[in-house]
């Protein structure tokens, strides 16, 4: 006999006590926050009315069809991502992988050939055929190829030229610009560290000093900003922390301060995460912020911390799950405030991967590995070992 | 009789970048559609005249995008988008450095301001053609106003400022953008760069206070406060630190549930140590009656922890620990349950480090299946 499902956290009586307290002092921040909370309350009430079963579900079929279609065709609304097409490949392939939907061999081959057209003769990958190389599409292309994981995919990458490209964007202060003649911020270090470690091209000098530059991005709040001096921000904090993990230098962060900062970013009412203090919840931070917790868990463990939980990460799983499934999943209601559908998908699926695996009690090592360098990295490394 | 006038299905006539209302033209086109609908008449109607049809471009063969025979993530570009970028690719291929190339980059940017390759090319042309950089400042100002959350536009502005070596308009410009969105990350980044590069620190603390007056919850402003003081007086001077502590407590009293203020208070006292600042424990404890919040409680936990860490003789260590644990429990179970896992971890951590007696068990939940969990030997080896 089935046990009655526990009531959702957001439908509990006490949940309204989590609404934002403005102390009678209204500002732009408090008004914006209250607006979002109101929209979400509407979502909850609509959900309660139309659903007999209280457990929200991941709409796998719909997501699969949406992703499958997008891998081939996208509307003109995506013109603004014409300089980020490898990202579109990566988001879609990663989501399909998480959904455990296979990519047909012909499609995989087409993706390889497309990404090969995005590779610059001077190394690295660009946003589209004929564009200049840039660290972000380089990250996306290399990771997409690793997800495909075929001989053809690995062969696309010109490792020697890639190393040339990485050296060409390295700065005297050990940071990296995103592209030749481009801007610096901590995303670049993560993109560089990720692709260099995946393709095993790290030389003794490539990241010399980079960890110190990244560390200088940690600020008084405990999180990391885009460059030293800037406000702590979820996206940049993930990039900086993950880069340090790849470089083996994460212990040099003030881990306690970082842990306090990131756990504070989970919104008590919405359940999702904000990117910065006193800003609004957004689906994408389900990854950038929540994804930090397994990284920190591992980092603290490596430091000899014996008081870490053996069963959960340090965020409220149910709350995040409800936020994503109830508030982010319906593409008609764009109040869920994500950048575009592709962003939603990757973040949702990474999240669901963590959650499902936790509820099945799977070996937590896979999460450490997954989020340290992403599952694909591990697969690539295994394949490299097998082939050499 | 004549068949009714129609416009062939799929014809899209777009206004130029001169900002004409497209609906007006839709009406006009419907009226005139029976006369002609090809692109020459679009030109006559001041609608978009494709580059491939312009006689000043006739010598250049457009280069279509090489997506291969079986494209993936294929975007359904508009006719105009294809036309402009086909021509851009032609220019790039020939490495053409001309006025017409410069004009085309503006069209390309208008269609996709995130195309960093176009911006780079525009910068090459600015130098090669020795263009008026003041005019370029006007141009990038307009683009940023329109699309203030784009990386490329701000980077371009920075380059032009550097070439001109003239930051004189920057602080005012950024303030303008911040008046529309007081937390725009790119804007703050640009502002900090200008200030550091050109040593423009004067008046910034006053500016920050204005912003905090408007919205005491503006975390970007609190960060800027820290940035300014850090780069000018620093916090080691006790009169500065006192001023900041008093300022922050004042803001806390106005809005006790403002997380930014509490984080700032914590942030500026980290170096000296929360428990070392005279009278702080008393001041904060006093606030509990009128200004209670999870942030206040968390601050007290931090203070107690600092007392324990520094093994301060001013405090009874046992009392510090028991109070800290009590508050962690209160937060985990009642006042900040969303962070239950964290507060319970902190509790165990404090108990483990400062407690005497039995080692603390990590969790009351059933353990995971026996495995190599938490053992690092399966990890990929460090590079």
Whether B57 is in a domain gets the answer yes
Rounded Cα gap, residues B308 and B319, in angstroms: 10
Q: Chain A window 321-360: which residues touch B at a Cβ cutoff of 8 Å?
A: none
Q: Do A29 and B77 touch (CB under 8 A)?
A: no
Q: State whether residue A247 sits within 8 Å of chain B by CB.
A: yes
Rounded Cα gap, residues B200 and B23, in angstroms: 47
Residue-wise DSSP of A185-224: -HHHHHHHHHHHHHTT---TTTTTTHHHHHHTTB-TTSSB
The dihedral sign for the CA sequence A8, A9, A11, A13: positive
Q: Do B255 and A23 touch (CB under 8 A)?
A: yes
Number of domains in chain A: 1
Give the pLDDT of residue A13. Answer: 84
Which chain A residues are within 8 Å of B77, Cβ to Cβ?
A: 76, 79, 82
CA dist list (Å): A83 to A67, A118, B84: 19, 10, 15
The alpha carbons of chain A give a radius of gyration, in whole angstroms, of 21
Whether A238 is in a domain gets the answer yes
Nearest to A83 among B116, B258, B342 (CB): B116
Whether B321 is in a domain gets the answer yes
Q: State whether residue A372 sits within 8 Å of chain B by CB.
A: yes
Give the pLDDT of residue A6. Answer: 62
Which chain B residues are within 8 Å of A111, Cβ to Cβ?
A: 72
Rounded Cα gap, residues B162 and A285, in angstroms: 34
Q: Which domain holds residue A343?
A: 56-384
SS3 track for B179-218:
HHCCCCHHHHHHHHHHHHHHCCCCCHHHHHHHHHHHCCCC
Q: If DSSP codes are grouped into helix, strand and coil, which group holds residue B226?
A: helix
Least CA distance to A257: which residue of chain B?
B267
Contact call for residues A91 and A343 (beta carbons, < 8 A): yes
Assign residue A315 the CATH number of its domain. Answer: 1.50.10.20
Non-local CB neighbours of A20 within 8 Å, separated by 6+ positions: A30, A33, A34, A37, A269, B257
Query: Which candidate, B198, B140, B190, places its Cα nearest to that of A185?
Result: B190
CB atoms within 10 A of CB A32: 15
Which chain A residues are within 8 Å of B120, Cβ to Cβ?
A: 132, 179-182
Question: What is the CA A223 to chain-centroid distance, rounded?
Answer: 16
Give the pLDDT of residue B272. Answer: 94
Whether A37 is in a domain gets the answer no
HSE value, Cβ hemisphere, 13 Å, CA-based, for A284? 16
Query: Which candidate, A187, A155, A220, A209, places its Cα nearest to that of A387?
Result: A155
Q: Do A266 and B338 touch (CB under 8 A)?
A: yes
Backbone angles phi, psi at B33, to 5 degrees: -60, -30
Give the pLDDT of residue A338. Answer: 43
Number of domains in chain B: 2
Which chain A residues are within 8 Å of B368, Cβ to Cβ?
A: 310-311, 361, 363-364
User: Using one digit for the tens of pLDDT, what is the confidence trace for A304-360?
Assistant: 999 999 999 999 999 999 999 898 886 443 334 444 555 555 556 555 555 554 443
Which chain A residues are within 8 Å of B74, Cβ to Cβ?
A: 72-74
Q: Do A127 and B116 touch (CB under 8 A)?
A: yes
Residue count of chain A: 388
Q: State whether residue A307 sits within 8 Å of chain B by CB.
A: yes
Is B250 catalytic? The answer is no
Catalytic residue among B149, B199, B250, B253: B149
Whether A229 is in a domain gets the answer yes
Give the pLDDT of residue A343. Answer: 58
Assign residue B57 the CATH number of its domain. Answer: 1.25.40
Q: Would you give per-residue pLDDT tens digits along chain B (383 residues)?
A: 444 444 454 444 444 433 334 445 555 555 555 444 444 444 443 467 899 999 999 999 999 999 999 999 999 999 999 999 999 999 999 999 999 999 999 999 999 999 999 999 999 999 999 999 999 999 999 999 999 999 999 999 999 999 999 999 999 999 999 999 999 999 999 999 999 999 999 999 999 999 999 999 999 999 999 999 999 999 999 999 999 999 999 999 999 999 999 999 999 999 999 999 999 999 999 999 999 999 999 999 999 999 999 998 899 999 999 999 999 999 999 999 999 999 999 999 999 999 986 666 565 444 443 333 443 333 333 22
Q: Do B116 and A197 touch (CB under 8 A)?
A: no
Contact call for residues A85 and A134 (beta carbons, < 8 A): no
Rounded Cα gap, residues B340 and B289, in angstroms: 24
Non-local CB neighbours of B215 within 8 Å, separated by 6+ positions: A27, A28, A29, B182, B221
Which chain A residues are within 8 Å of B123, Cβ to Cβ?
A: 181
Whether A60 is in a domain gets the answer yes
Whether B69 is in a domain gets the answer yes
Which chain A residues are within 8 Å of B68, Cβ to Cβ?
A: 110, 113-114, 117
Nearest to B219 among A20, A127, A231 (CB): A231
Q: Which domain holds residue B117?
A: 31-131
Q: State whether residue A194 sits within 8 Å of chain B by CB.
A: no
Rounded Cα gap, residues B209 and B192, in angstroms: 16
Q: State whether residue A101 sits within 8 Å of chain B by CB.
A: no
Indicate the residue among B104, B131, B158 that finishes a domain.
B131
Q: Do B117 and A83 touch (CB under 8 A)?
A: yes
Alpha helices in chain B (DSSP H): 22-32, 39-44, 79-94, 99-111, 116-128, 133-146, 151-164, 170-180, 185-198, 204-214, 219-231, 238-254, 259-269, 280-291, 294-309, 317-330, 340-354
For residue A305, with 0-12 CB atoms within 10 Å meaning exposed, 13-18 middle and 19 or more buried, which class applies?
middle
Nearest to B219 among A117, A132, A278 (CB): A278
Give the pLDDT of residue A317. Answer: 93
Rounded Cα gap, residues B326 and A386, in angstroms: 54
The dihedral sign for the CA sequence B200, B206, B209, B210: negative
CB atoms within 10 A of CB B182: 20
pLDDT beneath 50: ranges in chain A: 1-3, 331-339, 357-388
Size of interface A-B (CB pairs under 8 A): 280
Residue to mutate among A182, A229, A239, A369, with most B CBs inside 10 A, is A229
Whether B347 is in a domain gets the answer yes
Which chain B residues are within 8 Å of A257, Cβ to Cβ?
A: 270
Whether B336 is in a domain gets the answer yes
Residue to mutate among B186, B224, B244, B342, with most A CBs inside 10 A, is B342
Question: What is the CA B121 to chain-centroid distance, rounded?
Answer: 25
Nearest to A310 among B77, B367, B383 (CB): B367
Give the pLDDT of residue B48. Answer: 78
Q: Do A278 and B218 touch (CB under 8 A)?
A: yes
């Amino acid at each position: 006999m089935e046990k009655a499902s526990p009531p959702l956290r957001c439908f509990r009586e006490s949940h309204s006590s989590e609404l934002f307290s403005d102390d009678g002092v209204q500002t732009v921040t408090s008004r914006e926050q209250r607006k979002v909370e109101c929209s979400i309350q509407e979502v909850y009430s609509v959900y309660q009315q139309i659903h007999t079963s209280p457990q929200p579900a991941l709409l796998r079929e719909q997501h699969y069809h949406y992703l499958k279609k997008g891998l081939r065709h996208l509307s003109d609304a995506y013109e603004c991502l014409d300089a980020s097409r490898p990202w579109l490949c990566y988001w879609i392939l990663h989501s399909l992988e998480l959904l455990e939907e296979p990519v047909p061999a012909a499609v995989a081959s087409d993706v390889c050939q497309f990404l090969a057209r995005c590779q610059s003769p001077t190394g690295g990958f660009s946003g589209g055929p004929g564009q200049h190389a840039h660290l972000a599409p380089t990250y996306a292309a290399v990771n997409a190829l690793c997800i495909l994981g075929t001989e053809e995919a690995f062969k696309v990458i010109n490792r020697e030229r890639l190393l040339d490209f990485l050296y060409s964007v390295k700065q005297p202060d050990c940071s990296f610009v995103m592209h030749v003649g481009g801007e610096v911020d901590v995303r670049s270090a993560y993109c560089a560290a990720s692709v260099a470690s995946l393709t095993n091209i790290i030389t003794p000098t490539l990241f010399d000093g980079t960890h110190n530059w990244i560390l200088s991005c940690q600020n008084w709040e405990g999180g990391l900003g885009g460059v030293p001096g800037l406000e702590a921000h979820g996206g940049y904090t993930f990039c900086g922390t993950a880069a340090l993990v790849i470089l083996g230098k994460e212990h040099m962060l003030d881990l306690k301060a970082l842990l306090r900062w990131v756990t504070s970013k989970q919104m008590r009412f919405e359940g999702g995460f904000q990117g910065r203090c006193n800003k609004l919840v957004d689906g994408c931070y389900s990854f950038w912020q929540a994804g930090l917790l397994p990284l920190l868990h591992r980092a603290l463990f490596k430091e000899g911390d014996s008081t870490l939980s053996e069963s959960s990460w340090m965020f409220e799983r149910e709350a995040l799950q409800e936020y994503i499934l109830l508030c982010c999943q319906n593409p008609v209601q764009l109040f869920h405030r994500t950048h575009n559908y592709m962003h939603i998908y990757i973040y949702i699926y990474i999240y669901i991967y963590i959650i499902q695996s936790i509820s099945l009690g799977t070996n937590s090592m896979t999460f450490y590995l997954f989020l340290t360098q992403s599952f694909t990295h591990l697969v690539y490394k295994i394949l490299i070992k097998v082939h050499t | 009789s004549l068949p009714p006038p129609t416009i062939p299905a799929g014809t899209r006539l777009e206004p130029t970048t001169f900002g004409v209302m497209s609906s007006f033209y839709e009406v006009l086109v419907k009226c005139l559609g029976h006369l002609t609908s090809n692109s020459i008449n679009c030109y006559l109607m001041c609608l978009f005249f494709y580059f491939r049809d312009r006689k000043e471009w006739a010598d250049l063969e457009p280069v279509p995008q090489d997506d291969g025979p079986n494209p993936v993530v294929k975007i359904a570009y508009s006719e105009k988008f294809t036309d402009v970028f086909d021509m851009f690719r032609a220019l790039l291929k020939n490495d053409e450095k001309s006025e017409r190339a410069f004009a085309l980059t503006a069209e390309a940017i208008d269609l996709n301001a995130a195309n960093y390759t176009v911006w780079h090319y525009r910068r090459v042309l600015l130098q090669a053609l020795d263009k008026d950089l003041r005019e370029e400042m006007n141009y990038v100002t307009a683009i940023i106003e329109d699309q203030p959350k784009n990386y490329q536009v701000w980077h371009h502005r920075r380059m032009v400022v550097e070439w001109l070596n003239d930051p004189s308009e920057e602080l005012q410009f950024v303030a303008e953008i911040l008046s529309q969105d007081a937390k725009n990350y790119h804007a703050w980044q640009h502002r900090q760069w200008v200030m550091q590069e050109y040593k423009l620190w004067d008046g910034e603390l006053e500016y920050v206070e204005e912003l905090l007056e408007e919205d005491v919850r503006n975390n970007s402003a609190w960060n800027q406060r820290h940035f300014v003081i850090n780069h000018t007086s620093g916090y080691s001077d006790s009169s500065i630190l006192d001023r900041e502590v008093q300022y922050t407590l004042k803001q806390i009293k106005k809005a006790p549930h403002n997380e930014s203020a509490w984080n700032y208070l914590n942030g500026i006292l980290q170096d000296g140590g929360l428990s070392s600042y005279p009278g702080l424990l008393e001041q904060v404890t006093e606030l509990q009656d009128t200004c209670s919040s999870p942030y206040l409680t968390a601050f007290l936990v931090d203070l107690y922890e600092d007392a324990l860490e520094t093994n301060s003789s001013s405090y009874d260590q046992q009392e510090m620990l028991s109070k800290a644990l009590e508050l962690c429990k209160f937060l985990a179970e009642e006042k900040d349950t969303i962070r239950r896992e964290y507060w319970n971890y902190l509790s165990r951590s404090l108990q483990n480090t400062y407690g005497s007696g039995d080692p603390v068990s990590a969790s009351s939940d059933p353990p995971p299946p026996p495995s190599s969990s938490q053992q690092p030997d399966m990890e990929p080896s460090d590079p």
